Amino acid sequence: MLAAEVADRSAPAPFMVVGKVNGRDTAVRAATPAEALSRMLDWLADDADASAVWYLREDWPGPVTVIGRPAPGTEREARRCAHLFPLEPGTVLDGAITARCGARLALPEIEWLTLGAGMPCERCLAKAAAGNPGPRLEGGRG
């Protein structure tokens, strides 16, 4: 039996957390990566035999980019830049995630951020811009 929960049913919940907890298949929706990871870690703490993963729902209309940085205490403060993590619908996340710049962070060691928070990773920004050059100005060379 699958249990599905959403804190606010009117808000979109792009993420799913699924697993086996206390011998039962369980699935819940989550509005943010932080909520998804928190739920997954709670399950693993409550049941030594639990297994869990989270992902961007398969039926989500397209890729989503989430923002996170190393959690406090995992890096020197100067290295705690905000990375961009592109997610494709249906891609399962369980142990670590790779940013646009190639940095690989363990999921439990990420502080998830909202848009505009944190010092951005310049390499992530450059790679994002290279994949999306933006509009050309009329009469310009860009």
pLDDT per residue as tens digits for the range 7-29: 444 557 999 999 999 999 999 99
Counting Cβ atoms within 10 Å, is residue 3 exposed (0-12), middle (13-18) or buried (19+)?
exposed
Tokens for 87?
């997610």
pTM of the full structure:
0.77
pLDDT in tens, 18-72: 999 999 999 999 999 999 989 988 998 999 999 999 999 999 999 999 999 999 8
Q: Are 99 and 128 contacting, i.e. CB atoms less than 8 angstroms apart?
A: no
Q: Which segments within 1-125 are labelled E, that is strand?
A: 15-21, 24-30, 51-56, 64-70, 83-87, 92-93, 96-98, 104-106, 110-113
